[in-house]
Structure 1
């Protein structure tokens, strides 16, 4: 049986120091309000880690430095119009937080929350993202 390969998306795992553990940024989806990492389709003619920087800025106003190598990936689904969902592979890049701007392209379209890592793991409801964050916990700490 032929299975169409997953389409690639690029995600930004933005982190900053917290009181007891690092905090990571989650943003809400525009349709259902689920909490996810900022992510999007690859940008033409740009390295993947640059796409992660662009997504963090566009969705949350975050400015930071991305590691050029991905920290890993997980499988997900992207909701399209009329309830269509397509399978995606999400490549995740760590971004060290520098600042968060008050004005950015998707302001007002998403909620942006910084949560301690352990709370962020519980706040996401996508099982594959939850597993990814648990598995990569030591790399984020």
Structure 2
């Protein structure tokens, strides 16, 4: 079974929980609308490899899932913005170690600000790219499917609502810069 079901997303917008399998991690698809009005995604390379993914990490005890995804975007990519409270799907991350695969719940984060002097972990890169390019560079099939969903006619309401708001205001979504100091609770 794929990681996305239009029925589940529709129900998620009406309820406060989705019947996802138990997850140990949350991630954020960080997006903005570029100068050509197309959606751009912020992806992170893993070390010196050609592995590209979204910001993701472990859920802390008593942490809300959408807050975990928001924290991961700030810590791993230096961005913040409006986070969708309901996950749009999930994917299975298979790391290079012998650890068992982990389920990553995926939230959408509309980027409103970027840290001015953010530096990713050693060897990593943060790169804005089109949704199509993002689909080409990520390896996980379930994550590819979620990236494909973002620019489809069935995009989640979170995306269509923000696009309508920006269009009505006649504004673009170029993120503003923010100071590059993170709260001490961030690791």
TM-score normalised by structure 2 residue count: 0.63
2:132 is matched with: 118
2:180 is matched with: none
Note the alpha carbon deviations across 1:66-93, whole angstroms, 9 max, x for none: 11111111222133xxx32421111000
1:1-141 equivalences under 5 Å are 8-18=24-34, 19-30=36-47, 32-79=49-96, 83-104=97-118, 106-138=120-152, 139=155
The structure, 1 or 2, with the larger RCO (C-alpha pairs under 8 Å, 6+ apart) is 1
Report which of the two has the higher share of strand.
1
- Distance apart, 1:105 and its partner CA: 7.2
Could you say what secondary structure the match of 1:44 adopts? coil
Look at both structures and tell me which one has the larger radius of gyration over its CA atoms.
2
**Which shifted more, 131-140 or 83-92?**
131-140
TM-score normalised by structure 1 residue count: 0.81
Instruction: Report the number of matched residues.
Output: 134
